Structure 1
Amino acid sequence: MSPSLSNIEPKELWNNFSLLNAVPRPSKKEERVIEFIMQFGKDLSLETSKDETGNVIIKKPASKGMEGKAIVALQSHLDMVHQKNGDTDFDFSTQGIEMYIDGDWVKAKGTTLGADNGIGVASIMTILASKDIVHPPIEALFTIDEETGMTGAIGLKGGLMHAKYMLNLDTEDDRELTIGCAGGVDVTATGTYPTEVVGGAVKALRVCVKGLTGGHSGMDIHLGRGNANKLMNRILTQAAEFYGISIHMIDGGSLRNAIPRESNADIIISAKSETAFVSWIKEIETTLKQEHSTTDPNLSVTSTEIEIPKTILNKEFQNKLLRTIYACPVGIYRMSPDIDRLVQTSNNLARVLVKDGSYSIQCLTRSSVDSEKSDLAQAIKSTFELLGASVAFAGAYPGWTPNPSSSIVKLTSNLYKEMYKEEPLVNACHAGLECGILGKNYPQMEMISFGPNIRGAHSPDEKVQITSVQKYWNFLLETLKRIPA
């Protein structure tokens, strides 16, 4: 364990979190963490299995006196979002996450922390390994690929588990009891474009938008944070109008489930306009910093001279591309008319890559209403088809319909009030949780989701609150004690 984490309570949980964070575990490349968690179960002499998708199930008999209680599934996902700051030298494929304590928070050095959903995984590991925690029969479900398609949950077949209740440990606010979530669909527009040869007295510049806050494209979408792809498109559109720039390359954003924090574009400009353009870049930076001073205080826009490339986008295509991206919706599309402060439908313009004669534009469209999700995805598809793009939908998953009258919701709500002398926030969230998908093959399971305070998930600013983990842990243990027969 990191020396700075060795004395935090509960020590066993933080020790397991440290062990987990030493294992590279990006979405769709979970082989090492699957092997790690399989070995963990086998070392405890517990029934351990892996399904054909790669999900791991570990079963533990009830503690003494709890044998007659209902079976409880404890569920978290093994994968984590791999994001780092541009100036951070870190190889996710070989290095373990470097953690440190900052006051009441645990953070990572320039990368995502993996508290989403590593704290949940570590909690389950601690319960499985414990000899004195009181608990009913446990079915621990560790799913894969939650962050980039939920293919683990989608691939989990019925009949492998028999739990009556499921505790999903993937919520990021310790006062919330989550009973519903949004579904999502990946929208990808691809195509090719004609290029022109660079000629004349020109200069080449790399324009960079960086320093944005970013964050979770579901849980943080309502915060109004800047989207680097949209800001870059705004800059390029104005630059084309004012200075006649030509584009060689655009490369912005990374993962669909992360609000893009950085974007780079290589442009060509006439040599005589360079000085005026560089001055204008400073002006547009000032404007954008003023607009985003609350949400993105570290935003910056820079231009740096680079070697002149050989080709640029065809002017007609460049004009169509910029206007198409301008038309693509970003952020909140509709708020829920039924649940206060819940984002119902949104879109994240996550990735824009235009290079070497081809382009790929990636969005993640979310909604707690499947028909509205499909409608917005169709609108985005139509927008990019006007550009001539081929548009594909993939990775669609359903939302989780709230059931506030279920017995597990009543049990946890009453317990929260008893323990903390206040009402919990029983709500739905705009993130994608696996409960809705798992419920398709396990309709008998009553489900609820809760967890500790995690902030900045899916970004290098991710952090988890130490005292909140302690609060959440005590609540989890007490919930296990109260499970009925």
Structure 2
Amino acid sequence: MNSDIRQLEPTALWNHFSDLNAVPRPSKKEERVIQFMVDFGNKLNLETIVDSVGNVIIKKQATKGFENKKAIVMQSHLDMVHQKNSDTVFDFDNQGIKMLIEDGWVTADGTTLGADNGLGVAAIMAVLSSTTISHPEIEALFTIDEETGMTGAMGLKGGLLEGEILLNLDTEEDDEIDMGCAGGVDVTAKKTYKEENIPDKTIAFNIAITGLQGGHSGMDIHKGLGNANKIMNRLLYSGFEHFGLRISQVNGGSLRNAIPRESFATFIIDEISKEPFLFEIDALIETIKKEYKTTEPNLSIEVSSADIPNNVMGLQAQEGFIKSIYGALNGVYKMSADMEDLVETSNNIAKVVVKEGTIQIDCLTRSSSESSKYDLANSLRSTFELAGFEVSYSGSYPGWEPNVDSEILKVLTHLYEHLFQEKPNVVACHAGLECGILGQNYPNMDMISFGPTITGAHSPDEKVNIASVQKFWKFLLKILENIPEKTS
């Protein structure tokens, strides 16, 4: 499968992407990919640095005739989101991604592809390894842990970089030039509860929610996609209200930055309620499927008999849990008043785990407004604390404030119009890019972001358009040729 990818144009980029995707690179476990990049830089005899947190910096001198151009930083992140379909057997810690071509797109076999942000990394590698591409002095910055905390960008010290312009290659629409992004904060609610013995004359069931699209919890949050945790909670609430359903365990979602695609629960009800319960739950399932028939045509909700579990949640804890999930906002909280169709503030109820006397609920709250970000975070905190949870904030990072007077923005806009005979969409996005964080230690660096068209990021449906990669590469090479001169 991967050999076909290597034949695609531009071959240098696709070959580097294939090499990169052979290296396991989950967030927080980037040791192998860091070494991979160090070996790459050393093989080219380029100055290669690993900073104190694990970011890799590779420096390359300007090509002849470009010495008077402003030095640039080309930046992408090394880690990728690891998600797979429940029926896919795959070991992310030890296997390389299995890629294939489908109808003009590159995708993966039942897992995330790693195009986010592996294609940006591969493009930079292709520039660094080329002997024919014209460019100014380059500092290639490969950050770690972008997907689960942005600790690489946060840990990058001031003074390591000298570039005046930063090209971030981490956006996902080839007709967009990004000049701003949202910040975020992790909201975590935890609670312990007393387990109770199983009452007599009860039966057990499992519910499995699968087949949802999932996706990026920033870029896709406004699309009305199903959240497996909210759907599961709706089913549990109904069973609790009408039939005294008692929860044994729940396991839904995985990563904060991925809209949850799957959720699984085990519970009991009284034997006498079996038939009416199944009748009503089937009716509710059909209602939910009808509501999501357009956005989630592959939604599957299966109810099956299960072995009687050892314990269930105490009633008071269960009521607080179910009602707090119902009350907690998921999705768009506020749209931007300044930029059309831009989500300003949102929340993703990303992961819900109930097991063996503990509950943990993981959310990711995003906003391009710091005040609005914490307004929503405080709303979530209030909802969960009313149900007896302990709530903490962590991993907060700032947004990237748009600069409409950016010199590099003007360069890219002009080049795009000249190359493609149309105007680009100059936007700010609801994803978390590293530019805002990097700008804290490099406040005078002029930053811009662009990339090829990627859909389904953070889900096993992730894919990248082949023609879009060719367009992105053409655009990147023209940008490198047209970096402004140094100011005297």
TM-score, normalising length: structure 2: 0.98
Quote how far apart the aligned CAs of 1:338 are: 0.5
Alignment of 1:81-480 (within 5 A): 81-480=81-480
Quote how far apart the aligned CAs of 1:277 are: 2.3
SS at match of 2:222: helix
Distance 1:42 1:274 in 2: 67
* Number of equivalences: 485
- 1:383-416 Cα offsets, whole Å, 9 max, x none, are 1111111111000000000001110000000110
1:31 maps to amino acid: E
Runs of 4+ with >4 A deviation: none
2:101 maps to amino acid: I
Quote how far apart the aligned CAs of 1:199 are: 2.3
SS at match of 1:65: coil
Contact 1:281 1:302 in 2 (8 A): no
Contact 2:177 2:424 in 1 (8 A): yes
SS at match of 2:464: strand
SS at match of 2:349: strand
Distance 1:156 1:3 in 2: 36
Distance 2:441 2:192 in 1: 41
Distance 1:285 1:384 in 2: 27
- 1:24-50 Cα offsets, whole Å, 9 max, x none, are 000011000000001100000000000
Distance 2:296 2:343 in 1: 21
Contact 1:282 1:301 in 2 (8 A): no
Contact 1:193 1:358 in 2 (8 A): yes
> Structure 2: 5+ residue runs without aligned partners?
none
Distance 1:394 1:457 in 2: 24
Quote how far apart the aligned CAs of 1:278 are: 2.6
1:79 maps to amino acid: D
SS at match of 1:391: strand
SS at match of 1:222: coil
**2:12 equivalent in structure 1:** 12
SS at match of 2:59: strand
Percent identical: 58
- 1:211-240 Cα offsets, whole Å, 9 max, x none, are 111100000001010111011111100011
Quote how far apart the aligned CAs of 1:63 are: 1.0
**RMSD, matched Cα:** 0.9
Quote how far apart the aligned CAs of 1:358 are: 0.6
Quote how far apart the aligned CAs of 1:276 are: 2.9
Distance 1:169 1:444 in 2: 19
Distance 1:193 1:321 in 2: 10
1:408 maps to amino acid: I
Distance 1:428 1:284 in 2: 39
Quote how far apart the aligned CAs of 1:191 are: 1.4
2:29 maps to amino acid: K
1:242 maps to amino acid: H
Range with bigger deviation, 463-472 or 373-382: 373-382
2:157 maps to amino acid: K
Alignment of 1:61-100 (within 5 A): 61-100=61-100
Quote how far apart the aligned CAs of 1:272 are: 2.3
- 1:243-270 Cα offsets, whole Å, 9 max, x none, are 2111101110100000001111100011
2:69 maps to amino acid: K
Contact 1:252 1:263 in 2 (8 A): yes
- 1:139-159 Cα offsets, whole Å, 9 max, x none, are 000000000110000000000
Contact 1:186 1:365 in 2 (8 A): yes
Contact 2:320 2:388 in 1 (8 A): no
Distance 1:413 1:257 in 2: 30
